[in-house]
Amino acid sequence: MSGSSQLVLPSSTALHRLLNMPGALLDTTMDQLRTLLTVHETRSALRAARALGREQSSVQKQLDTLNRNFRQLCGEPLVVKQGRGKDVLFTPTGESLVELARETLAEWLDGIHECRRKLGTTVTVGTTRYMLDTLAKAWHHVSDEFRERDVDLKVVHIRTKDIWAKLETREVDVVCGSVVTHAGAGWERPEFDVIEWRRGGLALLTNLPETVVGDRVRVPQLRSVPLVIPGAGLIAEFLRGWFGPDYRQGIEIAAEIDEIQYGISLLRSNLVQGAMIVTSGLGVVASNNELREGGGLRVVELADDSLERLVGVFARRDELAKHPADHPLNLLWAAFQAEAPRP
């Protein structure tokens, strides 16, 4: 190559595109994108300013800058004012760029979280409502070291139906919750490690008289009992395990509910005559008259030799194995083991 020669990059290379990005695009910041998304969600600069904790003039200045830059880049502004007191109007270009901004910021946040997770600077625990105490007990073992090492413990609410999906997609590192398993069987998911807290069955809460539902019911008899059932979750998994994926076709559904407290109140009101499947622990609480909203309801034993509830802590086996013992994830796992009930 002679001294006067120049390196010419093909126009299709990624490096060429990076080196020739428009200045108006390079001047666009993540803060401006966040403001754009906030305005899109709230539909006004004033409401966006309140949500962001800023002056309206600051938000409007960012919108004006975005409009000017993207008019230059795309040929039209992103946002159009509709007049005093009216919601802003997003142009077709604005709507397209909003979606792109949403994806961009989400990918950056997810990427940063994944980097922190790999380095052990963030540990994410998903827990059901009833397992928060379990996490709190384990946290006492590691809280000082986590603070000293600047490790963040992120706690998210998780529902039973999402346990395996959240672990498989690595949205959480550890789950505290309950799953359905075969009665008396060993652990059936070898890709996950488990610390068992306890195993147990189910019971019925009912406002039906003993002439209709006695003190003990076996699973096949549930087909003739009007049931108050949730649309998803642990109880739905039991029903699916007992009666198959189309279980709704083979049972009498008195009502469908989203939360157990509503179901209890529904039965107590006598607006619905039936029974609700609950955990045996909740059945014990109700039978001891410790369930305020369940007053007047009767507890019935639900006999089942096929399935049982396993309460415990779960994590991906490969994730635990690839880190050293002093990694925050393994330290937290050891803390759960220290708090687990002894057999």
Q: Is residue 231 part of a domain?
A: yes
| Domain CATH code at residue 163 | 3.40.190.10
* Claim to verify: residue 207 and residue 150 sit in the same structural domain: no
Average pLDDT over residues 176-197: 92
Q: What is the pLDDT of residues 243-292, one digit of tens each?
A: 998 999 989 999 999 888 888 889 989 999 999 999 888 776 665 565 55
Q: Is residue 51 part of a domain?
A: yes
Q: What is the mean pLDDT of the chain?
A: 88
Q: Is residue 7 part of a domain?
A: no
Instruction: Band the pLDDT of 2: cuts 50, 70, 90.
Output: very low
Q: Is residue 5 part of a domain?
A: no
Say what the pLDDT of residue 115 is.
74
Give the strand order in the sheet containing 298-303: 216-218, 298-303, 202-206, 275-279, 227-230, 253-257
Say what the pLDDT of residue 1 is.
44
Residues of the domain holding 244: 202-303
Q: Is residue 124 part of a domain?
A: yes
Say what the pLDDT of residue 297 is.
86
Question: Domain ends where: 90, 115, 140?
Answer: 115
pLDDT > 50? residue 99: yes
Average pLDDT over residues 67-80: 92
Phi, psi of 255 (to 5 degrees): -165, 150
Question: Quick count: other Cβ atoms within 10 Å of Cβ 83?
Answer: 6
Q: What total of structural domains would you count in the chain?
A: 3
* Claim to verify: residue 220 and residue 183 sit in the same structural domain: no
Least confident stretch, 11-15, 91-95, 219-223: 11-15
* Claim to verify: residue 168 and residue 208 sit in the same structural domain: no
Helix (H), strand (E) at residue 284: helix 280-287
Global confidence as pTM: 0.67
Question: Domain ends where: 92, 115, 138?
Answer: 115
pLDDT > 50? residue 303: yes
Q: What is the pLDDT of residues 139-159, one digit of tens each?
A: 999 999 999 999 999 999 998
Q: How far from 25 is each of 12, 13, 97, 242, 274, CA to CA, in Å? A: 19, 19, 12, 58, 63
Q: What is the pLDDT of residues 27-44, one digit of tens each?
A: 899 999 999 999 999 998
Q: Is residue 286 part of a domain?
A: yes
Average pLDDT over residues 181-210: 91
Look up residue 97 and give its two tokens: 């760029």
* Claim to verify: residue 129 and residue 249 sit in the same structural domain: no
* Claim to verify: residue 180 and residue 154 sit in the same structural domain: yes
| Domain CATH code at residue 50 | 1.10.10.10
Question: Domain ends where: 96, 115, 134?
Answer: 115
Helix (H), strand (E) at residue 51: helix 45-52
Report how far residue 333's alpha carbon sits from residue 195's, in angstroms, rounded to the nearest whole number. Answer: 9
pLDDT > 60? residue 176: yes
Q: Is residue 8 part of a domain?
A: no
Q: Is residue 157 part of a domain?
A: yes
pLDDT > 90? residue 316: yes
Phi, psi of 177 (to 5 degrees): -175, -165
